[in-house]
Structure 1
Amino acid sequence: MQINPYLFILPRTPGQIVWDYKNHKQFELNLEYSTRLAQLIHNPELYNDSNIVDTQLLNCGILTTSIQDSIEWGWDELSKIFHIGTKNIPCEHVPQDIHEWSRYYLDHCTEVLEAPAPDARLTERQARDLIALPKPSCLPEGSLANVLIGRKTCRTFTDEAVSLEDVGTLLYLSLGYLHERENDVDETIVEGLGARRSSPSGGGLNACEGFLHVQNVSGLNPGFYAYHPTDHALSFVNPAPDSPLGQLLCGQHFINNLPAGLFITARFDKLWWKYEHSRAYRMAFVEAGHISQTFQLVATALGLNTWLTGALTDDQVETLLGLENNAEQPLFFVGCGHSDGQVMCKELKDLLSSREPQQ
């Protein structure tokens, strides 16, 4: 008999809460159950299948009959609990098609809007005299400012292919090691940390990497590819699954025909190597955000529209990327393609119209 390794315990007088953070379950234990659990933690061999408390602890997953493999983790338990506990978003049912997703999403939005909105931010409530700023001057054609203004999240994409040239440009300017900056490296930088990307990276580690999801890219077969920034090249990892892309992204089926996307991963072992404190875990998400925004701006400059999400079915994605029980983990997804620029898919628009009160 073993104790489930994915537990943490919160004291909540008069009992305690045992939280199975991997499986998103929590249990409230009274003194009898808490005492018995403490005995079994001290010596799991005391388990007695004639003891109803023991069998209930086993049936609910606090105890387990098998030794479970756990991911190597270089920081303290707090960051491990957060990372594993926020994987595989718990939901009673994953939408199986675009119509089902539209109903679920609209119901969720309706429920949210029925609750009072948060108050205005503190600084707005406390502000007295405001200092007006000059309006932006006329923006030159093709400027970064125009790209920033033009970027928006779209939820309708056509079946038109993305060119391999555009994909190469996207990956090089988002994740590639820029050859143009090779002479701009300080001689004091340690060997191995001299590579430079277009986005900043905590400690110069370039701890984020990328896997390209190909559905319709000229010159590439559908599937998953690892991007190698040193060589500016791809390697094939796995073919595309039979299920649509939306199944990997928590039922967001409006994105099923997205021609190309990037799963942004984090190399936690690189971060552990330099930063021993788990505050560095925050930097993985900061870096992923930088890369995501760069990807979107480059795509916009190329005339493509973009979409992004942090809602992943983590276990399935890890398997397809070949990252099970690995110190490299997927954090985010951003994709691009040709679009009519709509921020709301047709199915959701139709459903919204059908629910509007008739005049």
Structure 2
Amino acid sequence: MHINPHLFILPRTPGQIVWDYRNHKQFELNLEYSTRLAQLIDDPDAFDTHNIIDTQFLNTGILTTSTQDTNEWGWDELSKIFHIGTKNIPCEYTPQNIHEWSRHYLDHCNDVLTSSAPDCALALRPASQLINLPAPSGLPADSLANALALRKTCRSFTGKALPLGDVSTLLYWSLGYLKEREGDIDETIAEGLTARRSSPSGGGLNACEGFLHVQSVDGLEPGLYAYHPADHALSFVSALPGCPLGQLLCGQHFINNLPVGLFITARFDKLWWKYPHSRAYRMAYVEAGHISQTFQLAATALGLNTWLTGALTDDQVETLLGLEDSAEQPLFFVGCGKSDGQVMCKELKALLNEGRQQ
């Protein structure tokens, strides 16, 4: 007899939860069952066909009669659990044609709409405190091909202040609810889900939000600001911390003089509302990636260089943004400014040159 290799155990007093993450099944075990499972983990050959607990473990898949092949995984067990545990969405029935899918999806949406949507104003400031941004400008007509060719990650910035107009344009085209797309809205779109951005969003939920880290922008005091996409405005969240920006980004201090950056967050409660399955967590990162790339292309079109990272000191960033123990969490950071175009900071280049000379 063998223990299912795709199990993890969560202690939940007075028992424990055993989760078969490959098959999306979970079981709650009391002390008697937990003790017996521990004995079988220690010695699977102690399986007893006359023991009802043992046979239940076998019937539910906690135990197996043969060794299950597992792919070699190059990372830690947590990443393996996440990847396998969000595969193969369990569904009672897979539609066999477009008509069945349409009916199935409509029924799902109607079922979702029977519950209240998450509060879209979570963590936002009163309208009286909004800082209106200048009207965004358009981007050069031939900018897309040029931006795709010229976009690159830079690690050496001048710290020169950015015009507020450029920041306004960047925010509008990457996170704003586009006035240009209001013609896409018709009676088939549910109330509260009519906003459209330049980047795609799972279920049209616009689950990602943005917090601006401002160090040097003309006409805007340094600090952290929440972006309000419906109003194309900012609200002050907190002053800059005493530590440099690099301290919030796992010690990447070459970025300390970046004039402006964007913490991209995800509203998990929006995703849970429509997609009550762990796979939706993948979509939060996909959406953050879309927005990051849009931000970078818009910045490049404006003649700016960009830098991005997923390495955050999460607890510090959450505190700074006022998101501790919240259903909204920071996922990514992308910033821009004037740069000499160097992919490496001068300190790293100096070390590399020193190594070549030895």
TM-score band by shorter chain is: 0.5 to 0.7
Retained in 1: the 8 A contact 2:265–2:331?
Answer: yes
In structure 1, what is the Cα distance between the partners aligned to 2:327 and 2:149? 37
Structural mapping, 1:199-348, within 5 Å = 199-348=199-348
Pair 1:195 & 2:204 matched: no
In structure 1, what is the Cα distance between the partners aligned to 2:10 and 2:355? 40
Offset of 1:19 from its aligned partner?
A: 9.3
Can you list the C-alpha shifts for 1:211-259, whole angstroms capped at 9, x where unaligned? 0000101111111000000100000001001110000000000000000
Q: In the comparison of the two structures, how many residue pairs are matched?
A: 240
In structure 2, what is the Cα distance between the partners aligned to 1:334 and 1:180? 25
Retained in 1: the 8 A contact 2:143–2:301?
Answer: no
Retained in 1: the 8 A contact 2:210–2:265?
Answer: yes
Q: Pick closer, same or farther for the CA change 1:40–1:208 going to 2, 3 Å.
A: farther
Q: TM-score, normalization: structure 1?
A: 0.62
In structure 2, what is the Cα distance between the partners aligned to 1:225 and 1:288? 18
Look up the SS of the partner of 2:279 in the other structure: helix
Retained in 1: the 8 A contact 2:156–2:339?
Answer: yes
Q: Which residue of the partner structure matches residue 164 of structure 2?
A: 164
In structure 1, what is the Cα distance between the partners aligned to 2:8 and 2:283? 30
Structural mapping, 1:23-42, within 5 Å = none
Look up the SS of the partner of 1:190 in the other structure: coil
Offset of 1:82 from its aligned partner?
A: 5.0
Offset of 1:334 from its aligned partner?
A: 0.1
Q: Which residue of the partner structure matches residue 184 of structure 2?
A: 184
Can you list the C-alpha shifts for 1:123-161, whole angstroms capped at 9, x where unaligned? xxxxxxxxxxxxxxxxx9834111100100000000210
Look up the SS of the partner of 2:152 in the other structure: coil
In structure 2, what is the Cα distance between the partners aligned to 1:287 and 1:159? 29
Retained in 1: the 8 A contact 2:212–2:225?
Answer: yes
Structural mapping, 1:143-154, within 5 Å = 143-154=143-154
Structural mapping, 1:58-137, within 5 Å = 82=82
The residue identity in structure 2 corresponding to 1:260 is V
The residue identity in structure 2 corresponding to 1:171 is L
Structure 2 unaligned segments of length 5 or more: list them: 12-29, 36-77, 84-139
Retained in 1: the 8 A contact 2:211–2:263?
Answer: yes
Look up the SS of the partner of 1:234 in the other structure: strand
In structure 1, what is the Cα distance between the partners aligned to 2:265 and 2:223? 17
Q: Pick closer, same or farther for the CA change 1:82–1:327 going to 2, 3 Å.
A: farther
In structure 1, what is the Cα distance between the partners aligned to 2:309 and 2:298? 18
In structure 2, what is the Cα distance between the partners aligned to 1:180 and 1:345? 39
Q: Pick closer, same or farther for the CA change 1:191–1:242 going to 2, 3 Å.
A: same
The residue identity in structure 1 corresponding to 2:329 is Q
Can you list the C-alpha shifts for 1:30-57, whole angstroms capped at 9, x where unaligned? xxxxxxxx869989xxxxxxxxxxxxxx
Q: Pick closer, same or farther for the CA change 1:230–1:350 going to 2, 3 Å.
A: same
Aligned identity (percent) is 77
Offset of 1:355 from its aligned partner?
A: 1.6
Retained in 1: the 8 A contact 2:208–2:284?
Answer: yes
Look up the SS of the partner of 2:333 in the other structure: strand
Q: Pick closer, same or farther for the CA change 1:12–1:357 going to 2, 3 Å.
A: farther
Offset of 1:346 from its aligned partner?
A: 0.4
The residue identity in structure 1 corresponding to 2:306 is T
Q: Pick closer, same or farther for the CA change 1:143–1:275 going to 2, 3 Å.
A: same
Retained in 1: the 8 A contact 2:317–2:330?
Answer: yes
Q: Which residue of the partner structure matches residue 90 of structure 2?
A: none
Q: TM-score, normalization: structure 2?
A: 0.62
Offset of 1:337 from its aligned partner?
A: 0.2
Q: Pick closer, same or farther for the CA change 1:256–1:190 going to 2, 3 Å.
A: same
Structure 1 unaligned segments of length 5 or more: list them: 1-10, 21-37, 44-77, 84-139
Offset of 1:352 from its aligned partner?
A: 1.1
In structure 1, what is the Cα distance between the partners aligned to 2:146 and 2:283? 29
In structure 2, what is the Cα distance between the partners aligned to 1:143 and 1:295? 13
Of structures 1 and 2, the one scoring higher in RCO (CA 8 A, sep 6+) is 1
In structure 2, what is the Cα distance between the partners aligned to 1:283 and 1:197? 16
Can you list the C-alpha shifts for 1:13-38, whole angstroms capped at 9, x where unaligned? 9xx99899xxxxxxxxxxxxxxxxx8
Look up the SS of the partner of 2:303 in the other structure: coil
